[in-house]
Amino acid sequence: MSNDNEQMKPMIRVVLADDHAVVRAGIRQFLEQAGDIDVIAEASDGAMAIEMIGRMAPDVAILDIQMPKATGIEVSREIRAHRWPIGVLILTSYDDDPYISAVLKTGANGYVLKTASPDEIINAVRDVYQGKSVLDAEILPKVLAKIANPTPAPFYEPLTDREIEILSLVARGLTNKVVGIKLKISDRTVQGHIARIFEKLLADSRTEAVMRGISLGLIQLPEEIYDNDTNFEI
């Protein structure tokens, strides 16, 4: 009887996007053992994910956030912009508020952390396929707290093109000296720009400024924290 019920279940066609092959292999293995999930394609970067999703029209796209060429946030936004009838499940290690907010604004159906159990991830895929919204148990309290205690959105003074350029370099972990070398300006000039960025974004640290810049859509997640040409002593 149980076998007949399993055969009656529709197969959920999934495109899995993560830039780590080992992670993809592990996720694929337990998903396909569920019996009603078929991983029809894997993507190692965001651009490949968009191409595969558009061409293969899966039921659900499982996306990591930080990927080369396009982040999971950008892929989710692209899916919704094309109005593709696809469930979007973000599966990531990031539980920071700006990432959560940015993902939910794209219209993604689910946000689950990689610390979730295989059964939880499998059930999340099924729920997203059925049109339900899914939030990881560790993330849900943050979202509910924001709903219960809404705060007026702060006003952030717009950044100049130069300030956005500098903030994007800071996001890659570059020091003021390296930023100055790249942009052919002095350390002091870089420091002045960063001070103004802090003032405009109401930030107290480089990390806070970067996270706020990402949440506001001013900059993108860096593909790599460090470039090969900047791995030297400063």
**pLDDT per position as a tens digit, 165-196:** 999 999 988 899 999 999 999 999 999 999 99
* CA pair distance 219, 59, nearest whole angstrom: 30
CATH number of the domain to which 165 belongs: 1.10.10.10
Could you tell me the CATH number of the domain that includes residue 45? Answer: 3.40.50.2300
What is the per-residue pLDDT for 40? 97
How many separate domains does the chain show? 2
CA pair distance 177, 181, nearest whole angstrom: 6
- Determine, yes or no, domain membership for 154: no
Cα 75–Cα 27–Cα 52 angle in degrees, nearest 5: 35
Across 122-126, 135-139, 219-223, the highest mean pLDDT is recorded for 122-126
Same-domain status, 131 and 192: no
Q: Counting Cβ atoms within 10 Å, is residue 205 exposed (0-12), middle (13-18) or buried (19+)?
A: exposed
In the numeric block, which tokens belong to residue 31?
């998903």
* 40 in a structural domain: yes
* One domain for residues 129 and 170: no
Pair (224, 177) in one structural domain: yes
pTM greater than 0.75: no
Q: Would residue 155 count as lying in a domain?
A: no
Say whether both 143 and 170 belong to one domain: no
Do 110 and 138 have their domain in common?
Answer: yes
At 189, is the secondary structure helix, strand, or coil? helix
Q: Given 127, 148, 169, which residue is the final one in a domain?
A: 148
**Range of the structural domain that residue 112 is part of:** 7-148
More confident residue, 194 or 71: 194
**How many other CB atoms sit within 10 Å of the CB of residue 67?**
26
Q: What is the pLDDT of residue 147?
A: 66
Do 74 and 188 reside in the same domain of the chain? no
128 plus 175 within the same structural domain: no
Phi, psi of 41 (to 5 degrees): -165, 150
CB-based burial label for 231 (10 Å; 0-12, 13-18, 19+): exposed
Whether 122 and 196 share a structural domain: no
Structural domain includes residue 153: no
The packing angle between helices 187-201 and 176-183, to 10°, is 110
Model pLDDT for residues 6-36, shown as the tens digit of each residue:
456 789 999 999 999 999 999 999 999 999 9
**For residue 90, is it within any domain?**
yes
Mark whether 102 and 24 lie in a shared domain.
Answer: yes
Asked which of 47-61, 75-89, 207-221 is least confident by mean pLDDT, the reply is 207-221
Are residue 57 and residue 141 in the same domain, yes or no? Answer: yes
With residue 13 as reference, give the H or E element that holds it.
strand 12-17
Helix axes 206-215, 161-170, angle to 10 degrees: 120
